[in-house]
Each structure stands twice: as structure tokens, then as C-alpha cells.
């Protein structure tokens, strides 16, 4: 790509010819405020906060969409620019519910930050309509509050990027809202509850449906035995909520915080990830041997499962019947663990800390219950756990590292990497290879299926046979891969994660501002923490986990046994889009 020569605020620059003014300014470390712009997702110049003055142009231009050209002179801080930006921000604020102190995004709101930077002390303009939108809190996972919406359309773009597209702008002028078709609740359309709209939203217009009060009540109830499990991706991101650098693994501090919050037992979902590999790996071997219902497609991501049920129901038979690690663990806790400790399962309150808003939906699915008792009582996001820690006055950064409780505190490196795209497949290959080859796998790091490429493919030779595998993340890539299969492409084993990057970038993870997202690949940074923990693990293969070996010898007998199928496997529903 050729470069062009431009000036920004008198600074001479040579920038790629396909850049916008915003990109050129950021290249020169010149900050231009944005609100609707989201790197790689949304670029439409709607909020007009990024306006700049272009020499020779008749009007101010939106930097996020205005292309550079040879000899261009740009000014980002003239009186006209400052007046326009402040006026546009005041207009946005005029129709915004400004109950900031009680908003879940207080101090992590891009609109609030802009108001502070622009020195907004009063709103001289009153909006045409007072905020009177009804809050949509019917779903198990998401809450939509259009009173706090600024019509930036970042959520719409994120949903389109997932190729789900259940929200869009309806009506015109002051009546414009972001809504579902026919103004239905998000629970009444084909939403997969991935939460990518939440992590894209600059304000508190979209949030997870919190279960914090219920969990606190359970902890305070002396008749309840409250057990908590934590997913691998949580430890890779929780530290961000307390000022630690992105990608800092905080496993020990997380465990210490959970114990101080009052949970009776703190277990590691990674242990159940190892259990999932035993069940799913055995299921793959059986299907591959019989050449039935291939490709086998992983089922750990509830957003992906719901996407498949709604948009590709013809592939539900290809989904692994193995429950997700969260649900497997929950079933074990209310069966094996309850029996071993003489605790009635009705008296166990099972909590899961997940990087995912769709896990709330998964926890409520009727398939994940036994004798009318739901296996998971509450699923909290990483953000909700951070709020609980802050509310309890725990100084997270200063906590000493503590260990998970037995008997489910032992996990392998294979279980840890479940939290990033390619991790489930890599963990499965480590075990499937050694089971079929009956010898150690020399290189445990399967590089062809690592990284952030949308779709990764590899052909592996195992026990003298070629096994074609594929890994993809984000339902846009899932749709492309499934269409290839429908067109005749053959695969044996596929991993799909609903969220771009996998669980490390789940809809329940700490929210990163648009400005920070433009500078760093948060998916890759958080994944580094998981791979580092895998490399440091003494045991890196699921079938070598002593806790899993004990579980099979004492309770399940063997993978995919009758009892294992009763408790650790599930079924799916072919749904319509709406």
C-alpha cells in the first residue's frame, strides 16, 4: 500500500493511503475523542464527537470515516472543533438517563469519561423526550435499558458481526431506538446471549442480569452449603478490574477472594474441563471409529449451541452430547460430592463464575436439572465477581495466593486452555492421541490450531488414520464453516466458540474501552495467561488428572458409561429463529 503525505496540527506525517484521519492521528499519538467508533466493528460517524477541521473543506468532518489524501492538512483542536464537539456531547446527554451513581457502568462509562474531559457542568438543552423507555429484563442473561442508550449503534454492529442481527434501529428522529423486531423482548427473538453487545456498549444501556443478591443471600443462609466453581478465562481477566495489567493470571488471589466472600468450597472448573475431555474424547473415538454423525462438534459454548439450535438445527445431531464443564461439574457436585459428604442436594447452592452471559441461559435450561432440582443455582460473570469483591471491601491486589479446595482443585494444563479458541481441541487431541496411539504425544502444543485466525484447520495422523480438524471462533466464522460443510467439505472434529477469541473475550468479561481495544488485542493478551499456566502445570493431559481417575474409579466406572450418560450428557432442541 502506498503512503500519502499529510499534516495534522502542523505535524508532517506519511501514512498509508487507505487510512482515515482518525487512524492517521492515532499513528501520530494525537487523541481524537470517539463514541460510536469501535475498531473493527463499527465505523459510521454518527456521534460527531470526532469532528476535525480539514483545510479547504466547507464543514467539519468526522475523522473516523474521512479518508486521508495527499497534501491534506487537518486541525483537531481549533475553537470551531471544540465548540462542535461540546455541543454534540451536550445533545447526546440531553436525552440520556444521567443516574450515573447508581449505574453499573459508573467510572467505566465512555460517555461519563467524555463529559469529564469536555468539562460538562450543566446540560443547557432539554431533550424532546424524557427517558421513558421500558426496561427489558425478561431474559435470563441480558438487561436492555434504552434510557441509557446513546444510539451509537455499536451493539447493532457487534450483533451483525456475529451474524445474529436481532437488534437494529427502528423509527426515526427523536423516536429512534435500538430494538428487536416488532419491539419484542430480547428473550423472544433468536438472541444467543453471547453478550458481545454488552462489551461493545459504551454506557450502561446493556448489562448482564445480575444474580449477586441471590448468591449473597445463599452465603448468609447457614442451612445452605454454598459451592463455587471458576472457569479458566476468569483468572485471565479478573485482575483488570483491580488495576492489574491485561493478561495477568490471578488464580491464587481469585481463590483467596472467594474464600473471604464466604463460599464453603472453592473448586476449579478446569477439573471438569478434564472430565469433559474424557467424555467428549471417548465420544469422538466412538463416532470416528463407526464413521457416524461426523463431524463431531464441541458443545462447551452455550452461545454457539443456541446459535446452532436456532440457525443450523440440521447440525444439532453433530453436537457432542457431553455437557459443558460448568454443567458437568454442577451435576457431579449435586450427586457424587453430595453423597460423599452426606449433604442433601437440595441444601447445596451451586454457583459458577463464568466469563459468559450465555452461561446464565445455560444454567436455566431444563435439560440441566435432576429430579426438578437445577444443577446450577446461579451463574455470575467475571464483572459480577469483581463487584462482590469490591462491595466486601477486599483488597484484591494485596491478597496472598491460595489453593482450590479438594477434591476438585486438581486440574491440568489441558483444562486451563479451554478458555481460549483452540483450547478445547488441543486438550482433546492430547488425550485422544495417547489413548489411540498408546504412547506419549511428544509435542503438547498444537500450533496449527492456536492463534486468532477466524478459522484454523489441520490434518493429524492418529493411529495410522488422518483426522481432519477445524477450529473457529465467533458465530460469523461458524456460519462460514458450516456452509462449507453443507457444500461438501469433510471434517472429523470441530471446535466452535461463540465469542471472538473464545471465552477470554466472553460477554461477561471486564469491559475494555474502545480506545484501549484499538491499541491491543485483548483476546491474545488474555490467552497468554492461560497458555503460561498450561506450560507451568505439572500435569498437562486430562487423562492423567488424579481427581478424574478417582471420580471414574469411585463413581462413573469409565467414560461414556451408563451413569456418565445420565449425569454428564445432554440433548438439544431444534428451534426456529423467532
The catalytic residue among 253, 259, 323, 359 is 359
Yes or no: say if 533 and 543 are a contact pair by the CB < 8 Å rule: no
The catalytic residue among 301, 320, 335, 379 is 320
Q: Is the peptide bond before 407 cis (omega within 30 degrees of 0)?
A: yes
Q: Which three cell numbers stand for residue 55?
A: 483545510
How many C-beta atoms surround the C-beta of residue 24 within 10 A?
A: 24
The catalytic residue among 110, 241, 280, 327 is 280
Yes or no: say if 360 and 193 are a contact pair by the CB < 8 Å rule: yes
359 given a catalytic annotation = yes
Sequence-ordered list of residues with C-beta below 8 angstroms from that of 283, at least 6 positions apart, any chain: 296, 320, 321, 322, 560
* Measured distance CA(13)–CA(70) in Å, rounded: 10
Chain CA centroid to CA 29, Å:
30
The catalytic residue among 117, 367, 437, 516 is 367
208 given a catalytic annotation = no
The catalytic residue among 208, 241, 362, 533 is 362
* Measured distance CA(275)–CA(279) in Å, rounded: 6
Yes or no: say if 359 and 195 are a contact pair by the CB < 8 Å rule: no
* Measured distance CA(410)–CA(194) in Å, rounded: 29
Q: Is the peptide bond before 438 cis (omega within 30 degrees of 0)?
A: no
Yes or no: say if 102 and 58 are a contact pair by the CB < 8 Å rule: no
367 given a catalytic annotation = yes
434 given a catalytic annotation = no
283 given a catalytic annotation = yes
Sequence-ordered list of residues with C-beta below 8 angstroms from that of 169, at least 6 positions apart, any chain: 151, 153, 156, 176, 177, 178, 179
* Element of type H or E holding 460: strand 455-462
Sequence-ordered list of residues with C-beta below 8 angstroms from that of 564, at least 6 positions apart, any chain: 279, 556, 557, 558
Give the gyration radius of the chain's Cα atoms. 25
The catalytic residue among 50, 109, 197, 300 is 300
* Unique residue bearing C-alpha cell 482515515: 20
| Three state DSSP letters for 303-334 | HHHHHHHHHCHHHHHHECCECCHHHHHHHHHH
The catalytic residue among 53, 240, 283, 327 is 283
* DSSP, res 577: -
Measuring CA to CA, which residue among 518, 558, 370 is closest to residue 29?
518
* Measured distance CA(283)–CA(318) in Å, rounded: 11
Yes or no: say if 143 and 207 are a contact pair by the CB < 8 Å rule: yes
Name the pairing type of β-strands 3-8 and 11-16: antiparallel
Q: What angle do CA 146, 150, 151 make, to 5 degrees?
A: 90
The catalytic residue among 155, 308, 499, 503 is 503
Catalytic positions: 280, 283, 300, 320, 359, 362, 367, 503
Amino acid at each position: 500500500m502506498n503512503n500519502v503525505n499529510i499534516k495534522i496540527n502542523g505535524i508532517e506525517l506519511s501514512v498509508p493511503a487507505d487510512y482515515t484521519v482518525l487512524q492517521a492521528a492515532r499513528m501520530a499519538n494525537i487523541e481524537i475523542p470517539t463514541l460510536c467508533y469501535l475498531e473493527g466493528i463499527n465505523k459510521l460517524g454518527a456521534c460527531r464527537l470526532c469532528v476535525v477541521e480539514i483545510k479547504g473543506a466547507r464543514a467539519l468532518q468526522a475523522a473516523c470515516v474521512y479518508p486521508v489524501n495527499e497534501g491534506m492538512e487537518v486541525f483537531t483542536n481549533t475553537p470551531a472543533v471544540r465548540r462542535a464537539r461540546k455541543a454534540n456531547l451536550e445533545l447526546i446527554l440531553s436525552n440520556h438517563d444521567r443516574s450515573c451513581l447508581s449505574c453499573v457502568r459508573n467510572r467505566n462509562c465512555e460517555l461519563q469519561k467524555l463529559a469529564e474531559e469536555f468539562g460538562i457542568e450543566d446540560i443547557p438543552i432539554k431533550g424532546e423526550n424524557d427517558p421513558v423507555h421500558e426496561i427489558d429484563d425478561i431474559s435470563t442473561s441480558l438487561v436492555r435499558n434504552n434510557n441509557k442508550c446513546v444510539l451509537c449503534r455499536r451493539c447493532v454492529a457487534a450483533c451483525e458481526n456475529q451474524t445474529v442481527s436481532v437488534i437494529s434501529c427502528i423509527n426515526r428522529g427523536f423516536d429512534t431506538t435500538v430494538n428487536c423486531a416488532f419491539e419484542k423482548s430480547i428473550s423472544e427473538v433468536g438472541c444467543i446471549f453471547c453478550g458481545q453487545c454488552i462489551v461493545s456498549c459504551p454506557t450502561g444501556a446493556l448489562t448482564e442480569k445480575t444474580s449477586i443478591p441471590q448468591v449473597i443471600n445463599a452465603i448468609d443462609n447457614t442451612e445452605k452449603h454454598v459451592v463455587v466453581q471458576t472457569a479458566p478465562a476468569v483468572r485471565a481477566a479478573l485482575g483488570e478490574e483491580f488495576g492489574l495489567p491485561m493478561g495477568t493470571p490471578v488464580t491464587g488471589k481469585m481463590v483467596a477472594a472467594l474464600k473471604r466472600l464466604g463460599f464453603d468450597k472453592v473448586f476449579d472448573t478446569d477439573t471438569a474441563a478434564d472430565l469433559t475431555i474424557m467424555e467428549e474424547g471417548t465420544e469422538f473415538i466412538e463416532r470416528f471409529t463407526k464413521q457416524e454423525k461426523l463431524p463431531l462438534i464441541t458443545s462447551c459454548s452455550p452461545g454457539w449451541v443456541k446459535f446452532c439450535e436456532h440457525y443450523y438445527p440440521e447440525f444439532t445431531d453433530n453436537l457432542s452430547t457431553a455437557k459443558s464443564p460448568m454443567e458437568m461439574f454442577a451435576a457431579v457436585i449435586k450427586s457424587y460430592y453430595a453423597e460423599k459428604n452426606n449433604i442433601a442436594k437440595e441444601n447445596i447452592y451451586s454457583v459458577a463464575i463464568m466469563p459468559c452471559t450465555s452461561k446464565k441461559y445455560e444454567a436455566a435450561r431444563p435439560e440441566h436439572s435432576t429430579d426438578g432440582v437445577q444443577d446450577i443455582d446461579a451463574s455470575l460473570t467475571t464483572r459480577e465477581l469483581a463487584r462482590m469483591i469490591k462491595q466486601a471491601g477486599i483488597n484484591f491486589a494485596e491478597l496472598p495466593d491460595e489453593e482450590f479446595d479438594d477434591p476438585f482443585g486438581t486440574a491440568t494444563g489441558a483444562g486451563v486452555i479451554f478458555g481460549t479458541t483452540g483450547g478445547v481441541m488441543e486438550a482433546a487431541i492430547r488425550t485422544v492421541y495417547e489413548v489411540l496411539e498408546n504412547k506419549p504425544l511428544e509435542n503438547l502444543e498444537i500450533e496449527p490450531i492456536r492463534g486468532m485466525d477466524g478459522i484454523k484447520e489441520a490434518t493429524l495422523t492418529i493411529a495410522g488414520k488422518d483426522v481432519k480438524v477445524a477450529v473457529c471462533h465467533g458465530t460469523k466464522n461458524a456460519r462460514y464453516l458450516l456452509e462449507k460443510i453443507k457444500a461438501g467439505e469433510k471434517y472429523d472434529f470441530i471446535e466452535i466458540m461463540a465469542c471472538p477469541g473464545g471465552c477470554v473475550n466472553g460477554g461477561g468479561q471486564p469491559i475494555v474501552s474502545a480506545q484501549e481495544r484499538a491499541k491491543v488485542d485483548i483476546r491474545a493478551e488474555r490467552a497468554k495467561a492461560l497458555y503460561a499456566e498450561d506450560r507451568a502445570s505439572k500435569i498437562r493431559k486430562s487423562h492423567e488428572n488424579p481427581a478424574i481417575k478417582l471420580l471414574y474409579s469411585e463413581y462413573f466406572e469409565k467414560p461414556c458409561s451408563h451413569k456418565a450418560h445420565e449425569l454428564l450428557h445432554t440433548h438439544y432442541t431444534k428451534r426456529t429463529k423467532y
